[in-house]
Amino acid sequence: MPPLLELDHLEMVFRGGGGLLRRGARRVGAVAGVSLQLEQGEILAVVGESGCGKTTVGKMITGLYKPTGGRILYKGADIHTLKGEAFATYRKGVQMVHQDSYAALNPARTIFQSLGDPILHYRLARNPGQARERLAELLTLVGLAPPQQFLDKYPHQLSGGQRQRLLLARALSLHPDLIVADEPVSMVDVSLRISLLDLMGEMNRRFNIAFIYITHDLATARYIASHGRIAVMYPGKVVETGNLSQVMATPRHPYLQALLAAVPIPDPRVARHMRELPLKSLEMPDPANPPPGCRFHPRCPFAETVCEHDEPPLRASDGHLVACHLAERIPRWEWAPQS
């Protein structure tokens, strides 16, 4: 039984710039060789800062971008070779929840129109009346009750949290196997984030829908994928991946350790004593001109000569995969401060 989704050495190179002054088209390697697997009903958190390519990976998985290298296999088949019926199945099976709920809903159409169209298009309801019923069920499922109150409104009349639930409802309406959620809660108030994440978790358990949760926020990633897996990305590549609780307990890549040190902790006594991982520079590498060898080496406090020349492969270490030459030799990450 092939995995639900497989990314095989995925690459995405954008051609930017060029133009009249002929400085040559810049090749921007947003994704430079990402391989991942996802099983049915699994939750995978893809974590990284902005510019690491995680959003690009999400857009490739949903078919918005065509990869310039590598393949995306949905249920064993390369999505870019699918046609007709098989392609329609893929389209229904993989859905996306966007970050900005206001931009992801058509401002000139009511909720009923926006959410009803896909249902009618795929004949999941045969007429508008049936569509209304289906939507009422769906809205109740995501916690928007009474549904009638929402169906005839325009997006701007609803709050951010409500709109985000609508995006989830829309993604669920086609009975997908996989939902790619790109920073779904970062534009929502902090007090509401957990309820949205709980909702997604519930959808995952009830309907066995796999989730790819893309975020820069490690805390929410840990919350939603506590029983799932994590992949940490650094421009264009995956630098550490594995079972989330395992990876968080023993982070081996210096970048992940730096991230963990930087996440704010809502406990003053602990927070005041958290040690910092001093990085040599704050700047992310330019994707058009990545540093040779390990991409992280200019910032890494542990970098040695080998790091400047050879790109580290993803290899097993401590029960999960890490892309670092020195993974075994760098100090272990201490959670509890010495207080």
Partner 1 sequence: MDNTKEPIMQARNVTVDFRLPSRMLRAVDDVSLDVQRGEILGVVGESGSGKSTLASAMLNVVSVPGRISAGQVLFKGQNVLTFSEEDLRDFRWREVAMVFQAAQNSLNPVLKIREQFLDTASAHGNRPKDQVLSKARELLRYVRLEPDQVLDSYPHQLSGGMKQRTIMALSLLLDPEILILDEPTTALDVITQAYVMNIMRKAHDDLGITMVFLTHDVCIMAKIADRIAVMYAGQMVELGSVDDIFYRPFHAYTRGLINAAPSLTDDVRLRRAIPGSPPDLTDLPAGCRFAPRCRIYAEGGCPGDEKGELMEVERGHYTACYQWKKVGR
Partner 2 sequence: MSAIQSFTAWFGGGRRLQPGRRSFFGMIVRNHRAFLGLIILVAFLFVALAGPSLITLDTKPNYMPGARLQAPSLAHPFGTDYAGRDTMAQFVHGAAGVILLSFATAVFTLLIAFVMGGAAGVAGGSLDAVLMFITDIILTVPSFPIMMVLSMIVTISDPLSFALVLSIWSWAGLARAIRAQILSLKRRDFVEAAHIMGLGLPHIVFKEMLPNMASYVAYHFIMIMRNAVTASVGLMVLGLVPFSTTHWGMMLQLAMGSTGAMYGSTAIYYFLTPVIGIMLFQMGCLFFASGMEEAFNPRLRTQ
Site of interaction with partner 1 (CB under 8 A): 49-50, 159-162, 189-195, 197-198, 216-220, 222-223, 226, 248, 258-272, 274, 276, 279, 282-284, 335
Residue 105 near partner 2 by CB under 8 A: yes
SS (H, E, C) 197-259: HHHHHHHHHHHCCEEEEEECCHHHHHHHCCCCEEEEEECCEEEEEEEHHHHHHCCCCHHHHHH
| Residue 125 interaction partner, one of partner 1, partner 2, none, beta carbon < 5-8 Å per kind | none
Pick between residue 124 and residue 260 the one whose CB is nearest to partner 2: 124
Instruction: Say how many residues touch partner 2, by CB under 8 A.
Output: 33
- Neighbour count for residue 289 (Cβ, 10 Å): 10
Pick from 100, 217, 311, 318 the residue near partner 2 by CB under 8 A: 100
| Residue 88 interaction partner, one of partner 1, partner 2, none, beta carbon < 5-8 Å per kind | partner 2
Closest separation in Å from C-beta 51 to partner 1:
8
Listed ranges 10-18, 58-66, 241-249, 315-323: which one lies at the site for partner 2 (CB under 8 A): 58-66
Rounded Cα distance between 253 and 141, Å, is 40
Rounded Cα distance between 93 and 285, Å, is 35
Torsion of CA 256, 257, 262, 265, to 10 degrees: 110
Pick between residue 20 and residue 282 the one whose CB is nearest to partner 1: 282
| Residue 270 interaction partner, one of partner 1, partner 2, none, beta carbon < 5-8 Å per kind | partner 1
Pick from 76, 107, 146, 292 the residue near partner 2 by CB under 8 A: 107
Rounded Cα distance between 320 and 256, Å, is 13
What distance lies between CA 234 and its chain's CA centroid? Answer: 13
Pick between residue 212 and residue 218 the one whose CB is nearest to partner 1: 218
Residue 164 near partner 2 by CB under 8 A: no
Please, what is the Cα angle at 46 between 41 and 47, to 5 degrees? 145
DSSP state of 79: G
Rounded Cα distance between 288 and 28, Å, is 4
Tell which residue, 233, 323, 324, 213, has the closest CA to residue 285.
233
Residues engaged in binding partner 2 (CB under 8 A): 62-64, 87-88, 91-92, 94-96, 98, 100, 103-110, 112-114, 117-118, 121, 152-154, 156-157, 170, 174
